[in-house]
Amino acid sequence: MNVELPFAPVDTIIRRNAGNLRVSADASKELARRIQEHGATLAETAAERATTDGRKTLMAEDFGVEATIDKDALELPVAPIDRIARIDIDDRYRVSMDARVALADILEDYADNVARAAAILAHHADRRTITADDIETYFTLFE
């Protein structure tokens, strides 16, 4: 699977949760991959909801979001989120701008939670760097 999400915004999300810890490039890559997988899964579920409602356009409410935030308040860029949303759904679906922003917001919260936990794991291991192993350990423990 090709990772659609640029690593730089993911790195920024990890760093805002890392405190004084460093962040390895592999940690950013691993979290970007996990964000993409989660986003594609959420989009599949949203597509099922849209189909049930007789629509071909994914809306924010299909992601369980009633009000969207300003896309400029997000670290994750919306264009790659659109590509992530389309990974596992048919080309016959459209993704509204509100749905893209809603998905980006959900995925950014998801990334913040993982990054916070990875920082705790790195501290616990008495390391000064968050690594891909910390991201992987989070998913081993909590999924």
Query: Is residue 1 one of the residues assigned to a domain?
Result: no
Please report, for the domain that includes residue 94, its CATH number.
1.10.20.10
Of 30, 6, 4, 31, the C-alpha closest to 87 is: 4
Domain tally, the chain: 1
What is the CB neighbour count within 10 angstroms for residue 67?
8
Q: Mean of the pLDDT values across residues 105-112?
A: 98
CA atoms within 13 A on the CB side of 94: 7
In a domain, 116, yes or no: yes
46-72 mean pLDDT? 95
Please name which of 25, 34, 32 lies closest in space to residue 6, comparing C-alpha atoms: 32
Examine residue 126 and state whether it is found in any structural domain, yes or no.
Answer: yes
Mean pLDDT of the chain: 95
Q: For residue 124, is pLDDT > 90?
A: yes
Residue 75 domain-assigned (yes or no): yes
What is the structure's pLDDT at 2? Answer: 79
Task: Give the pLDDT score at 92.
Answer: 86
Q: Is the pLDDT of residue 112 over 80?
A: yes
Q: What is the pLDDT of residues 25-38, one digit of tens each?
A: 999 999 999 999 99
Q: Tell me whether residue 106 is in a domain.
A: yes
Task: Write the CB contacts of 124 (distance below 8 Å, at least 6 apart in sequence).
Answer: none
- Residues 70-106 have pLDDT tens digits of 999 999 999 999 999 999 998 889 999 999 999 999 9
| Domain limits for position 54 | 7-142
Question: Is residue 2 domain-resident?
Answer: no
CA atoms of 11 and 9, how far apart (whole Å): 5
Q: Is residue 88 part of a domain?
A: yes
Query: Quick one: CA dihedral 122, 127, 128, 130, positive or negative?
Result: negative
